[in-house]
Structure 1
């Protein structure tokens, strides 16, 4: 599980607990809009570290069909974090 403390003090866990399962016991991922809304809440100092955790988590479970949807969501969230880190680069370097 990947997690990061948000700027407002909450902790973001992906996938969130308790797991939401569909009828085939596949773990359902959060909606893209929910992921995009969380990216600005991640502290700039933690963006690249959190991105690494997301990619590592997806890599570890890449052959597990149960995690297929969550892995795709993790990689989309990682991409959003990288995009934000690139736009906020001076803030990330400080």
Structure 2
């Protein structure tokens, strides 16, 4: 589970649940929720959160039970990086 701070100052966790299916694979949240999660991350934490997501994928890249989550972690990291590059609060030019 990867955590960061939300815009409201609360904890934000991905994935929110480690529930598994009958084969033991961790159930990924709906893909439609990823843009909402990326939008909820504190602007100053975007790149750090993306880095932590990518490190999580790297640590669990050979574990089949994490495969669906790993795909979503990479997509969420991409969304966070895109937002960081377009958000002036992160220190990057628009």
Q: Which residue of 2 aligns with 1:7?
A: 7
Stretches of structure 1 lacking an aligned partner (at least 5 in a row):
none
**For residues 22 and 2 of structure 2, what CA distance do their matches in structure 1 show?**
24
The list of structure 1 runs, each at least 4 consecutive aligned residues, that deviate by more than 3 angstroms after superposition, is none
**For residues 15 and 38 of structure 2, what CA distance do their matches in structure 1 show?**
15
Q: TM-score, normalised by structure 2?
A: 0.89
Q: TM-score, normalised by structure 1?
A: 0.89
Name the SS for the 1:50 alignment partner.
Answer: helix
Name the SS for the 2:3 alignment partner.
Answer: strand
Stretches of structure 2 lacking an aligned partner (at least 5 in a row):
none
1:27-46 equivalences under 5 Å are 27-46=26-45
Count of residue correspondences: 92
